[in-house]
A = this chain, B = another copy of it.
């Protein structure tokens, strides 16, 4: 793959981290990252609508062809899992409507891919994200996690491309 643009997503109802990462011959660069935060007093469906609108705006602007989404190791309680499901469903739908290929990675795989350690802390992941993309360190954890899943995906893709 000469050039691929990937959107990395770390979905959440309060905060959804996103990152648009370009891979140009295994040179990664960050086109945009940030956090979507629906207003707290919105109803559930209006929060989802907000997230959907913001995501489709990003998809339209940057035309990524692949989406890497953080998978969930469900250790949380059923109520928060249900809430999270709503956001993940909407994020997947947005990506599907824009014909992106969708990939999911478990947190431990992402952490291992970035730091070599499946149990790395968010701080360690953020440190590696900053190092790999030559950033100034001014990232929220949500954005850093979204970049991490994008890099994890690009790294695995590069690996599969080499062996296939």
| A residues with CB within 8 A of B | 43-46, 48-49, 52, 72, 74-79, 81-90, 92-93, 95-97, 102
Contacts and interface: CB of A to CB of B under 8 A. Distances in A.
A151 to B, nearest CB: 21
Contacts of A83: 85
Q: Which of A52, A74, A90 has most B Cβ within 10 Å?
A: A90
A79 B82 contact: no
Contact of A93 (B74, B84, B90): B90
Given A78-B77, A83-B85, A85-B88, A93 B96 contact: no
Contacts of A86: 85-86, 88-89, 92
B85 A74 contact: no
Given A86-B88, A89-B86, A89-B89, A45 B96 contact: yes
Contacts of A96: 45-46, 48-49
Contacts of A81: 78-79, 81-82, 85
